[in-house]
Amino acid sequence: MKNIFFPLMIPSVLLVLLVLPINLVSARSFNNDFETGDLTDWEKDGEAFDFQPTWGDNPTARNRGQPSQHQGDWWLGLYEKYQGPDIGKKEGQNPGGTQGDGPQGTLTSIEFTIIGESMNFLIGGGNHAWDVAPAPCCVNLEINGKVERTATGNATETMSRKEWDVSDLKGKTAQLVVIDNNSGGWGHPNFDDVHQADSKGENIPWDRVLAVDARGKLAVSWAQMKKYY
């Protein structure tokens, strides 16, 4: 009897999915720290990101005297040109290799919903601000193409953690844009390990962020539909 009933209930489940104001989303993570070793979840434009992310403390490998202080193995270092012992060897790269400040471009993340009170991240490199410099290198938080928050490094390869208050943007859909439009001195940003955080300052897992729709409600999964039967 149970085997007969299950096919009969499928049309009813589909009807519920069509009628209820829900948004089916598969919970997934976000390449927020580049530990995939590539630019998954990000779209590049221009040449600056052709050899990114970089691997390891490449500034120290070239005796810069300013350790990157990156998280994990991979990070965005737009002056660097070393993609690790596997890719680097294949591409003829060596530790300490650089591409310099010449290449320019942008890197744009996938869309995500702002559900936290704040966002924090590691940033370094140049201090050419978005709203001051004619040729910025910075990281922006954009909503519908409008820059809502921006940050730069402090003219050092060493990254430090900065934070944006995004409490007034909760529920909105945003993107991160890493911008390298400067080819002069300190014409590159460094960036890594971005998170949203709750009111207690605790980082929110990205799979939870991406399972929330624009109305701030948790997306409904197939498993959750069982409660209706």
pLDDT value for 224: 36
- Answer whether 124's CB lies under 8 Å from 156's CB: yes
pLDDT value for 219: 44
CA distance 221 to 181: 42
CATH number attached to the domain at 26-212: 2.60.120.260
At 141-190, the pLDDT tens digits run: 999 999 999 999 999 999 999 999 999 999 999 999 999 999 999 999 99
Residue extents of the structural domains in the chain: 1-25+220-229, 26-212
Residue 116, C-beta contacts closer than 8 angstroms, at least 6 positions apart: 166, 170, 195, 196, 197, 198, 204, 209
**What average pLDDT is seen over the chain?**
87
Mean pLDDT of 187-199: 98
Pairing of strands 74-77, 189-197: antiparallel
> Is the pLDDT assigned to residue 199 strictly greater than 80?
yes
pLDDT value for 174: 98
Give the three-class secondary structure for 152.
coil
At 12-53, the pLDDT tens digits run: 544 444 444 444 455 679 999 999 999 999 999 999 999 999
Residue 7, C-beta contacts closer than 8 angstroms, at least 6 positions apart: none
At 58-72, the pLDDT tens digits run: 999 999 999 999 999
